[in-house]
Chain A
């Protein structure tokens, strides 16, 4: 649905050039669709004001999520849906108890994002940097490749002031953290996995059946570690 809406929004300027009256009606309809589905068109955002407001946000997790919303909206408008992955997702689930070094995005569509589009978006945001890594609003933004997601669970979503951010499911984030904490063993990463586990056991909507299925997959192979950590955190 979002792809369709994005395409509709992308068509709007062309329609406007042909027939201003028709475009006005079209714009209104698209805006209503956006509101209905909680999608914000970057046409509705004053990007400069948004960047200034985000940059002045002192809480780093809030700043990161607002920026994630803005970046997601701007790529979505160009037809490229993004999802927040990796440490950035863990940061969201642990409420900043774990702080990632950057904001990691993957794209959700098979179609690759042209480098020109990336640079245009980042330039519009006043960002600096090259090759999929940029500094925007004092934060590092990394645009990785195509999303690899071993679960069919829906992404979690957060409505930020600048657009809806999609985040990999916590079940997948937890299993990933347990894997990298154990292979190879890392004290620092084990602490992060533990924080993610605390978030999971306190999340009433966390799907433990799916988390165990993921952990048991040969892709991860950490079912015993998942169960041990869950028991440890629950009893500790």
Chain B
């Protein structure tokens, strides 16, 4: 751990990251774990909550 702070930063370029995606998904799929859940922001209740926030904001700051 003493050398942790001295470790080189691990940086990926966009292209490297995109190229690595298939392998990582395959590793998950191999374990039966690749079934991406939908973002909660796509759920109606999340959108409704955001609308309520906006309505509150509009009421306070007409």
Do A and B assemble together?
yes
Query: Which residues of A come within 8 Å of B, CB atoms?
Result: 38, 60, 62, 65, 94-102, 128-131, 133, 135, 138-140, 151-161, 164, 191, 194-195, 198-199, 202, 205, 207, 209-210, 213, 233, 236
Query: Which residues of B come within 8 Å of A, CB atoms?
Result: 1, 4-5, 7-14, 17-18, 21, 23-25, 27-28, 31, 33-41, 46, 50, 53-54, 56-57
Cβ contacts under 8 Å, B14 to chain A:
158-161
Cβ contacts under 8 Å, B40 to chain A:
99-102, 140
The answer to whether A152 and B41 touch (CB under 8 A), given A140-B50, A158-B12, A195-B33, is no
Cβ contacts under 8 Å, A205 to chain B:
10
A157 B9 Cβ-Cβ under 8 A: yes
The answer to whether A94 and B41 touch (CB under 8 A), given A130-B57, A198-B33, is no
B24 A95 Cβ-Cβ under 8 A: yes
Sample of 4 further A-B pairs with CB below 8 A, known A94-B28, A140-B41, A154-B7? A97-B28, A138-B41, A153-B4, A233-B31
Most chain B CB within 10 A, of A130, A160, A199, is at: A130
A210 B1 Cβ-Cβ under 8 A: yes
Partner of B11, one of A94, A135, A140, A159: A159
**A195 and B17 alpha carbons, distance in the complex (Å):** 18
Partner of A164, one of B1, B7, B11: B11
13 pairs across A/B with beta carbons < 8 Å? A38-B11, A96-B25, A96-B36, A97-B34, A99-B36, A153-B5, A153-B7, A154-B7, A161-B14, A199-B24, A202-B27, A205-B10, A209-B1
A9 CB to closest chain B CB, in angstroms?
A: 20
Partner of B39, one of A101, A199, A233: A101
A131 CB to closest chain B CB, in angstroms?
A: 8
**A135 and B25 alpha carbons, distance in the complex (Å):** 28
**A62 and B14 alpha carbons, distance in the complex (Å):** 10
B22 CB to closest chain A CB, in angstroms?
A: 9
Cβ contacts under 8 Å, B50 to chain A:
128-129, 135, 140
The answer to whether A157 and B41 touch (CB under 8 A), given A135-B50, A199-B27, A236-B31, is no
A172 CB to closest chain B CB, in angstroms?
A: 11
A50 CB to closest chain B CB, in angstroms?
A: 14
